Amino acid sequence: MTQLTLLTREGCHLCDAMKRVVAQVQQHQPVSLTEIDISSDVALERRFGTEIPVLMLGDRILARYRISASELKARLVNQDGDAEQAPTSPSR
């Protein structure tokens, strides 16, 4: 089963939309989702504060802000494709 992580925070409408996309993909592929509220982690808040939602597969960022179900399915099939490497340090 593919384990995805969603960096989110309460009240984030884009995060809710990303969760719906993952739920659509889950109907066709074995995918589990773990949500992490970045406001509970100072380091994550600093690193991703204005960039949520961020959907990750391990340490790779699959999507920021928005992704369609078809695009997410394609990225999961071709995990070396358009996914970007997560930054190792804050860019600020």
Closest CA relative to residue 65, chosen from 75, 53, 55, 83: 53
Q: Tell me what pLDDT residue 82 has.
A: 44
Q: For residue range 63-92, what is the model confidence (pLDDT) as tens digits?
A: 999 999 999 999 998 774 444 444 333 333
Closest CA relative to residue 1, chosen from 25, 17, 37: 25
Q: For residue range 45-69, what is the model confidence (pLDDT) as tens digits?
A: 999 988 999 999 999 999 999 999 9
Q: Quick one: how far is CA 77 from the chain centroid? A: 16
Domain boundaries, the chain: 2-85
Q: For residue range 16-42, what is the model confidence (pLDDT) as tens digits?
A: 999 999 999 999 999 999 999 999 999
Listed in sequence order, the DSSP H helices in the chain are 13-26, 42-48, 69-77
Q: How many CB atoms lie within 10 A of CB 32?
A: 11
Distance between CA 35 and CA 15 in Å, rounded?
Answer: 10
Distance between CA 24 and CA 38 in Å, rounded?
Answer: 24
Q: Tell me what pLDDT residue 73 has.
A: 94
* CATH code for the domain defined by 2-85: 3.40.30.10
Mean pLDDT of 3-18: 96
